[in-house]
Structure 1
Amino acid sequence: MDAVTRTTPRLHYRIEGPRDGQPRLTFVLAHALGCDLTMWDALARHLAAQGRVVRYDQRGHGGSEAPPGPYTMAALANDAARMIDELELGPVVWIGLSMGGMVGQELALRHPDKVKALVLANTTSGYPSEAQAGWAQRIAGIERAGLEAIVDGALQRWFHEGFHAERPEVVAHWRERVLSCDAAGYIACCHAIAGVDTTARLPRIAAPTLVIAGVLDQGTPPEMARTIAQGIPGARLVVLREASHLSVLEQPDAFCEALEDWLQAVPA
């Protein structure tokens, strides 16, 4: 079922899985910058066999509204909390990749009652100053020449060279997806990402947490994942081989295996 939230900014979401009774778990899936809820197609189908799955387009993306920016990670987390309340989802298993993982950290810190467990994939809790400067350059490039200015560089980080050669149709699909984004919404989210800063607060996250990294990830390398896993009490770290930034697309089976193994320890 596809719908949009009643409260604003209106967020486009999709609900899958059992409609009758109380599901054992409710999953909320949050995508990366420049993507949309279809990033999770395969994983959502798998998870829908065991619980309720809600995936959504973050503000500035897909079918969701793009209010004027810049955005903050707090605002994106508040969007998620608002959607969870409106849909009466209760505490959820949050699965976020890249920007979605940043939102998940902030959600668990600001709204801990909304989060039963966290999966933080290919993400970071903060950027060094040189990386923040890189985000400023990316924003300037889009303002000057549109999303065409940054899309190919993004795709090089998202997928490793072998994947580009073996699955050119997938790469082409996501190139078109980026180019179809609202440029102002994309820029507004870039501001939120550049300002992510949760490292010092990570020990306050009490939810069971799985951190997933990709060996080949240039955007959020495994060192950033280790920082998160070391900061959150009891967090588990899994580093996937042959995975770059969009690990759930490059290594869907390995991603799913790591998730399933960890879910066995998550209480209903």
Structure 2
Amino acid sequence: MAAPLLVLVPGLLCDDSVWQPQIAGLADRARCWVAPNDGHDSLPALAAELLRQAPAERFALAGHSMGGRIALEVMRQAPERVERLALLDTGWQPRAGGEAGEAERRQRLALLAVARESGMAGVALRWLPGMVRPAAHGTAVYAQMQAMVERRTPTQFAAQVQALLDRPDASDVLARIACPTLVLCGEQDQWSPPDRHTAMAALIHRSRLVLVPDCSHMSTLEQPAAVTAALADWLTAPC
């Protein structure tokens, strides 16, 4: 019997390398396929593209950061295709209204301006330090993350920024999720903090919350063994 398909969705400015420790660690449990996270400037369109390209009708689905938001849009469009769901270092709420939402818009567009004026290396210098805990700065893993960001292009980044600024409210999706769901977050994640994940898990029936110690936003690379272990447990949970 063929191993089940595990669809992995990278986050903002990430590519398949963000999932490499899990792909290797779960090779005996699942066939892994990394979904695209660019080519469209809306989360619903990215979810539709994932569903079009996925190499199996039904699959387990794990999304990190922006990839988690794409995964929630997949659950909105075709929940019957998802056997189990994992949401890592992510969120479900739309951009806030008023000044808070405008502040986010200015912040994202300022970083996009850096990409257009200074290239993606400039983006990595400004963006990446806040995505990992200070102890990880200057490490080989940090250098790997820098190289990953630098492989992206300003055009890809612009589409992702637009998709996130226009992100839908997924509150109604959370309430309807019926499959086994892992909600995971680094304990030091300041971008998508633990209290958000605690609230998200409370809204999902049959969810399990995992908070990873000594870990910030880039959990799959910062603490790969802990994330892989949590995903392995999730993959074997009864449906």
Normalised to the residue count of structure 2, the TM-score between the two structures is: 0.89
Counting only pairs closer than 5 Å after superposition, residues 99-138 of structure 1 correspond to structure 2 as 99-126=66-93, 127-129=95-97, 130=100, 133-138=103-108
The 5 Å alignment of 1:257-268 reads: 257-267=229-239
Deviation at 1:131?
Answer: 5.6
Equivalents in 1 of 2:203, 2:120: separation in Å? 35
* Equivalent residue, structure 2, for 1:182: 153
- Aligned-partner Cα distance in 2 for 1:241–1:131: 30
> Quick check: 1:209–1:235 contact (8 Å CA) kept in 2?
yes
CA deviation vs aligned residue, 1:97-143 (integer Å, no higher than 9, x gap): 00111111110111112211101000000244426632432223423
Name the SS for the 2:12 alignment partner: coil
Structure 1 runs (4+) deviating above 6 angstroms are none
2:137 aligns to what SS in structure 1?
Answer: helix
Amino acid at match of 1:217: D
- Tell me the residue number matched to 2:141: 170
Structure 2 segments unaligned to the other structure (5+ residues) = none
In structure 1, give the amino acid aligned to 2:24.
Answer: R
Aligned ranges 1:234-249 → 2 under 5 Å: 234-249=206-221
> What is the alpha-carbon root mean square deviation over aligned residues?
1.9
TM alignment of 1:1-268, pairs within 5 A: 21-23=1-3, 25-59=4-38, 66=39, 71-84=41-54, 87=55, 89-126=56-93, 127-129=95-97, 130=100, 133-143=103-113, 145=117, 146-165=119-138, 167=139, 169-196=140-167, 197-267=169-239
Q: Within 1, Cα distance between the matches of 2:217 and 2:202? A: 20
- Report the TM-score, using the length of structure 1 for normalisation: 0.80
Q: Percent identity?
A: 30
Aligned amino acid, residue 242 of structure 1: D
Q: 1 or 2 for the larger relative contact order (CA 8 Å, sep ≥6)?
A: 2
Aligned with 1:27: secondary structure? strand
How far has the Cα of 1:242 moved from its partner?
0.7
Structure-1 separation of matches of 2:129 and 2:207:
29
Question: How has the CA–CA distance of structure 1 residues 133 and 148 changed in structure 2, closer, same or farther, with 3 Å as cutoff?
Answer: farther
**Structure 1, residues 159-195: CA drift from partner, whole Å, max 9, x if none?**
1111114x2x322232232123121221111121233
Shift of 1:205: 1.7
Counterpart residue number, 1:9: none
1:17 is matched with none
Determine the C-alpha separation between the residues in 1 that align with 2:146 and 2:214: 21
How many correspondences in the alignment? 232
Aligned mates of 2:134, 2:111 — CA distance in 1: 24
Amino acid corresponding to residue 110 of structure 1 in structure 2:
Q
SS at structure 2 position matched to 1:206: coil
| Matches of 1:78 and 1:133, distance apart in 2 | 29
User: Unpaired segments of 5 or more residues in structure 1?
Assistant: 1-20, 60-65
Question: How far, CA to CA, are the matches of 1:97 and 1:141 in structure 2?
Answer: 20
Tell me how far apart the structure 1 counterparts of residues 174 and 69 of structure 2 sit (CA, whole Å): 11
